[in-house]
Amino acid sequence: MTDIIQLLPDHVANQIAAGEVVQRPASVVKELLENAIDAGATNIQLLIKDAGKTLIQVADNGKGMSITDARLSFERHATSKIKLAEDLFQLQTKGFRGEALASIAAIAQVDLKTKPQEEEVGTHIQIKGSEVESQEACVTPIGTVIHVKNLFYNIPARRNFLKSTAVETRHIIDEFQRVALAHSSIAFSMHHNGNEMFQLPISNLRQRIVNIFGSKTNEKLVPVEEETELVNITGFVGKPEFAKRSRGEQFFFVNNRYIKSPYLNHAVTAAFEGLLKDKSYPSYFLFLEVDPKSIDINIHPTKTEIKFDDEHALYAILRSSIKHSLGQFSVAPVLDFNRDANLDTPYDLETKSARTPQVEVDRDFNPFQEIKSKATSGSGFQPKRQTVPQENWEALYHGLDSKDENDFSKVEFESDAITGQLFETSKVSASSTTFQLQKKYIISPFKNGMILIDQHRAHCRILYEDLLKSITVKAAVSQQLLFPLSLQLNVQEIEMLHHLREALEQTGFIFSKMKDGEVEITGIPTLITESEVSILLDQLLSDFENEIPDSGFLQTDLLAKSLAKSMAIKAGTQLDTVEQIAIVNGLFACKEPQLTPTNKKIFITLQAEDIEKKFM
């Protein structure tokens, strides 16, 4: 039998490994930043072009590498972090597999310059597709500068699977923020296409959070601190009133390594129980310090998932520490939150004994005696009251015995007319053709039955088609604000708005400023109010969190869907007859009245035959 199993060539094995290590440009950024941190750098600079597709450059002032180390760093499974298998359970560094640089060099053009402090000159290595093209001495400062150019140049299929520039940039910003938050004692900077996006000096954790997410973040933070034998917890959580519709500002770090843990995230959410609005997510920046022997970080290629020895205990400690912090800083309500302050006993009455109430009666009070008003001297008009003395009470009934003047046979009495109708004609006019059911559905009769319309979905369809027309055909009308509306957003959110600005302005928004963590709006669409702008933009950014299409039509379609969903009337809104008829007429004037933009049914019909069957 012929042998069929063969060893793969190194460049093929490296490309396979690259599939696990390098999923997108953000993966390269993460690996290079962590290498710089492991090298003991105190200043790290990141420069990218075209969302990392053209260039990723990381420069640090770390310890650098010797000639031998520089060459070995690009070999598979060559690392200085571990020597024995037992070292995997005592890791104190970021990288340890020795596959990062080898995988990156297999799918890109890499240029490395490095120099340790004890050497006179540095080393310059150029690698293309795992093949070393040149290695020579060079003049370079202490530390390492690495350029990664033309990512996936030799794997076109992988390059085609990359998302749009905006999405890939957002992923790079995510990785940069995670590394920068975990190491506030290191200065970081980031530039994209020549524009400075972050400049983070050495600071404490709170100041690092403020520098990344904006100056307004400082007032939103509540410190959390707890020390136990199992875990030490430090960090901050956001106040409930600043909760967002997206999970963008949620960070867990275990031994300064960013992780994702739905289980621990549930512990945080449980601590906020009863304090958050529906579909809102709290912000948190939490650092857990545990014994390295009690965790396993080698269960996932990206090292963002960790296995804990005792997750249940961690859950309970984390939940209770957050609840304690919220209560300590008066964020959470007291237990007796229905207490009425008016019922509290004043301090000056606490020592006095209770007195028996006494009832006083005015025995001289006579209801038939005329009481003169004390306010006769006022400016108001006082009508003259006529009273009848008690002794002349018979005069009240004078004339009742006269049959001519008081003929009760001619008196007409009020009564309810019997019309044979369930509702009064004045309440239900003949022109009323619609009815609202449970403030959610609109019922409209037609020849062979009736139609039941979901008012929110119907309005979504109407707004969606109107917005598409406004963006693609002609700009919508904008209402000018008397005072500009200022919103505080982080760098990532402002970057997303830059890509959507032109389409948003077609819908009626007018932006006068969009930089330095602040967005200033001077005009808004006529269909929304000023108080709804922040909610609408928050939902819009949440919808575009995963994808901002490069294609003009796809971007317009997604934008119109998001705005229509936010601007449409909600279930529970009372509508008058005119509004109900407007929705019905507007719906059936649409090109596709049966389905919402997300392909959900808008209305159902009930035929007369179907109704008759219910009475059989």
Q: What is the pLDDT of residues 231-242, one digit of tens each?
A: 999 999 999 888
Residue 281 CA to its chain's centroid (Å): 7
Between the CA of residue 289 and those of 175, 322, 457, 575, what are the distances in Å?
21, 16, 48, 55
Average predicted confidence (pLDDT) for the chain: 80
- Which domains occur in the chain, in start order? 10-200 (3.30.565.10), 212-328 (3.30.230.10), 441-605 (3.30.1370.100)
Over residues 310-358, the pLDDT tens digits come to 888 899 999 999 999 988 876 665 454 455 556 566 656 666 777 787 8
Q: If you average pLDDT over residues 391-409, what whole number do you get?
A: 55
**Residue 90: CB partners within 8 Å, gap ≥ 6?**
292, 293
Specify the pLDDT at position 383: 47
Instruction: Kindly report the pTM of this predicted structure.
Output: 0.69
pLDDT at residue 402 greater than cutoff 60: no
Specify the pLDDT at position 513: 84
Confidence of residue 142 (pLDDT cuts 50, 70, 90): very high
Confidence of residue 430 (pLDDT cuts 50, 70, 90): very low
Q: If you average pLDDT over residues 368-382, what whole number do you get?
A: 52
Specify the pLDDT at position 410: 56
Lowest mean pLDDT: which of 30-44, 83-97, 244-258, 418-432? 418-432
* C-alpha–C-alpha distance, residues 525 and 253, integer Å: 42
pLDDT at residue 498 greater than cutoff 90: no
Phi, psi of 134 (to 5 degrees): -160, 150
Alpha-carbon torsion, ordered 10, 107, 72, 118, to 10 deg: 170
Q: Which amino acid is at 2?
A: T
- Counting Cβ atoms within 10 Å, is residue 399 exposed (0-12), middle (13-18) or buried (19+)? exposed
Specify the pLDDT at position 423: 39
Specify the pLDDT at position 340: 56
* C-alpha–C-alpha distance, residues 431 and 434, integer Å: 9
Specify the pLDDT at position 378: 47
* C-alpha–C-alpha distance, residues 210 and 180, integer Å: 12
Specify the pLDDT at position 609: 86
Distance spanning both ends of the chain, measured CA to CA: 78
